[in-house]
Structure 1
Amino acid sequence: MKKTKRKENLRLYTYATWGIILLAWFLITEFGLVTSRLVPSPLQVVQSFIEMMQKGYNGIPLWSHIGISLYRLFVSSFLAILTAIPLGLMSGYFKRFRAIIDSVVQFYRPLPPLAYYTFLILWLGIDESSKITLLYLAAFAPIYLACVSAVSNIDPNYLLSAESLGASKKDIFFTVVLPASLPEVFTGLRTAIGIAYTTLVSAEMVAARSGVGWMVIDASRYLKSDVMFVGIIMMGITGVLLDWVLRKLENKLVFWKGMQ
Structure 2
Amino acid sequence: MIGSVILLVYVAIFVLSFLAVRFLVHKTTRDFTSLKTVTFGDESAVTSNRIASIVSVTTVFLIWGSFTGSSWVPGFLHAPGPFVGETSFTYTLETADGVRDDATVYVKVADFGQETESIEAAPGEGIAKDDAVAMNASRTATILFDRNDEVTRKDGARVVAIDGIAIGAGDEIRTETGRFALTDKGAISFAPPSGLQMEPIWLPPPEDVVGRVVEIANEGYRDSTLWRHLGYSLFRVIAGFVFGALLGIPLGYAMGLSDWFRGWFEPIVEFMRPVPPLALIPLVIIWFGIGETGKIILLFLASLWIMAIAARAGVSGVNISKVHAAYSLGASKFQVMRHVIMPNSLPEIFTGARVAMGVCWGTVVAAELVAASEGAGMMIMVASKFQLTDIVLMGIILIGVIGFGIDILMRKAESVLVPWKGRS
Normalised to the residue count of structure 2, the TM-score between the two structures is: 0.59
Matched, 1:205 2:364: no
Match of residue 177 from structure 1 = 341
Q: Deviations over 1:83-110 (max 9, x none)?
A: 1111111211112111122211111221
Q: Deviations over 1:9-54 (max 9, x none)?
A: 8111101111011001001001362111010111111111111111
Match of residue 249 from structure 1 = 413
Match of residue 27 from structure 1 = 66
How much does 1:113 deviate?
2.1
Query: Higher helix share goes to which structure?
Result: 1
Match of residue 237 from structure 1 = 401
What SS is found at the alignment partner of 2:373? coil
CA contact (8 A) 2:237 2:364 kept: yes
Normalised to the residue count of structure 1, the TM-score between the two structures is: 0.94
Of stretches 180-189 and 215-224 in structure 1, the one that deviates more from structure 2 is: 215-224
Matched, 1:66 2:105: no
Match of 1:2 among 12, 28, 31: 31
CA separation of 1:254 and 1:125: change in aligned 2, threshold 3 A: same
CA contact (8 A) 2:244 2:303 kept: yes
Superposed, which structure 2 residues align to 1:29-68 within 5 Å?
A: 29-30=68-69, 31=81, 33-68=197-232
Superposed, which structure 2 residues align to 1:1-260 within 5 Å?
A: 2=31, 10-30=49-69, 31=81, 33-260=197-424
Amino acid paired to 1:19: T
CA separation of 1:9 and 1:198: change in aligned 2, threshold 3 A: closer
Aligned-residue identity in percent: 37
How much does 1:138 deviate?
0.8
CA contact (8 A) 2:212 2:390 kept: yes
Q: Distance in 1 between matches of 2:382 and 2:260?
A: 47
What SS is found at the alignment partner of 1:170? helix
Query: Higher strand share goes to which structure?
Result: 2
CA separation of 1:85 and 1:36: change in aligned 2, threshold 3 A: same
CA contact (8 A) 2:278 2:363 kept: no
CA contact (8 A) 2:217 2:225 kept: yes
Q: Distance in 1 between matches of 2:275 and 2:48?
A: 42
| Structure 1 residue runs of 4 or more that deviate by more than 3 Å after TM superposition | 3-9
How much does 1:3 deviate?
5.9
Of stretches 25-34 and 40-49 in structure 1, the one that deviates more from structure 2 is: 25-34
Of stretches 139-148 and 4-13 in structure 1, the one that deviates more from structure 2 is: 4-13
Give the structure with higher Rg (CA): 2
Q: Distance in 1 between matches of 2:410 and 2:278?
A: 28
Q: Distance in 2 between matches of 1:66 and 1:125?
A: 22
Q: Distance in 2 between matches of 1:113 and 1:79?
A: 16
How much does 1:4 deviate?
10
CA contact (8 A) 1:205 1:213 kept: yes
Q: Distance in 1 between matches of 2:234 and 2:247?
A: 20
Aligned residues: 260
Q: Which has the higher contact order (CA 8 A, sep 6+)?
A: 1
- Unmatched 5+ residue regions in structure 2? 1-29, 35-44, 70-80, 83-196
How much does 1:243 deviate?
0.6
